[in-house]
């Protein structure tokens, strides 16, 4: 087993074990709550066993049982939420990962701390990684959801192209090809074919911004090629330098790690979904970003549904 595949497998095993433990804990809480309700019900029944059980006593018995059941249900839901707590807001994500939130996509239009007026979130992310007078940049966009990663990368690429920069979008996920799905282009030949040396980079590059007058090229994921030697790394570097701005679509920590190894000096933007991404998943990303992915983490793109 290669060193690139073992860390994701360890993380998957850890998450599976965590989920199993949470499930067993919820089951124990449910059983305990049922026992508590049974004990209260039995105690009230015994207390009224020597008395005449009129309508009032039975009403009190049922009411007490319902109250205990509601408390038990609340305790179970609270325990489950604590075990699967979600990222609530930008401040929580920033504190947990120690990197700034660049923009919030979705919901109400963005109002940034530095820009109180409404601003396109993708343009704000682009400006944060490519200030005026800066050299060409390569940005790696990653996260758990391939479609969200691809749409975020496409938004940043569009912002760069409107700034009259020749922009290249590269899809490193040849299993799902989210960039090809977003732009509605073919999935192969693509990146994997050029890296394997069976296609030229020009042959796998598609122009998608011509109709809107923008200079945007896309390299789809390509054919499924497992354990194929990557022969065209130097040619990739040269091809990237032909563009003013490059955005790499790299969903998942494994793909992001590969992207960082192929692109020198790239910065990482992590997509985090509010009320969807859990703190456990964020902890996994924190470990991957700062221990395995050899690229600086520039900031977070918060996705609000």
Task: State pLDDT tens for residues 228-245.
Answer: 566 667 888 888 888 989
Question: First and final CA of the chain: distance in angstroms?
Answer: 38
pTM: 0.70
The token duo for 198 is 């069976």
Task: State pLDDT tens for residues 182-221.
Answer: 999 999 999 999 988 889 999 999 999 777 788 899 999 9
Give the start-to-end residue ranges of the domains of the chain: 6-83, 90-303
On average, the pLDDT of the chain sits at 77
Q: Which residue's entry shows tokens 């109400």?
A: 108
User: In the CATH hierarchy, which top-level class contains the domain 90-303?
Assistant: alpha beta
User: At what angle are helices 90-97 and 279-291 packed, to 10 degrees?
Assistant: 40
Going by C-alpha positions, the residue among 297, 292, 296 that lies closest to residue 100 is 297
Query: For residue 264, is pLDDT > 90?
Result: no
My answer on whether omega of the bond before 86 falls inside 30° of 0, hence cis, is no
Q: E strand or H helix at 217, and its extent?
A: strand 216-219
Can you tell me whether residue 22 is helix, strand or coil?
helix
Task: State pLDDT tens for residues 57-76.
Answer: 666 666 776 677 677 766 77
DSSP string of 88-127, one letter each residue: -SHHHHHHHHSS-EEEEESSSPPB-SS--SB--HHHHHHH
């Amino acid at each position: 087993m290669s060193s690139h595949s073992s860390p994701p497998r360890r993380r998957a095993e850890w998450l599976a074990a965590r989920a199993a433990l949470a499930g067993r804990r919820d089951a124990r809480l449910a059983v305990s709550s049922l026992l508590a309700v049974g004990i209260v019900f039995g105690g009230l029944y015994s207390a009224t066993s020597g008395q005449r059980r009129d309508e009032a006593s039975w009403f009190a018995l049922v009411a007490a049982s319902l109250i205990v059941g509601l408390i038990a249900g609340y305790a179970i839901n609270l325990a489950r939420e604590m075990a699967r707590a979600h990222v609530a807001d930008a401040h929580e994500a920033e504190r947990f990962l120690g990197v700034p939130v660049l923009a919030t996509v979705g919901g109400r239009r963005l109002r940034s701390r530095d820009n109180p007026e409404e601003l396109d979130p993708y343009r704000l992310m682009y400006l944060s990684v490519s200030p005026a007078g800066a050299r060409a940049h390569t940005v790696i966009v990653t996260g758990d959801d391939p479609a969200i990663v691809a749409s975020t990368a496409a938004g940043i690429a569009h912002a760069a192209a409107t700034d009259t920069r020749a922009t290249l979008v590269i899809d490193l996920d040849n299993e799902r090809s989210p960039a090809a799905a977003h732009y509605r282009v073919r999935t192969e030949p693509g990146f994997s074919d050029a890296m394997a040396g069976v296609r030229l980079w020009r042959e796998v590059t598609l122009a998608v911004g011509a109709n809107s007058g923008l200079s945007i090229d896309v390299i789809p994921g390509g054919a499924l090629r497992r354990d194929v030697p990557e022969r065209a790394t130097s040619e990739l570097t040269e091809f990237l330098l032909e563009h003013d701005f490059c955005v790499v679509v790299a969903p998942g920590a494994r793909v992001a790690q590969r992207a960082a190894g192929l692109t020198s000096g790239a910065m990482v933007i992590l997509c985090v979904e509010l009320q969807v991404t859990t703190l456990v998943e964020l902890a996994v990303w924190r470990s991957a970003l700062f221990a395995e992915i050899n690229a600086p983490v520039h900031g977070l793109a918060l996705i609000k549904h």
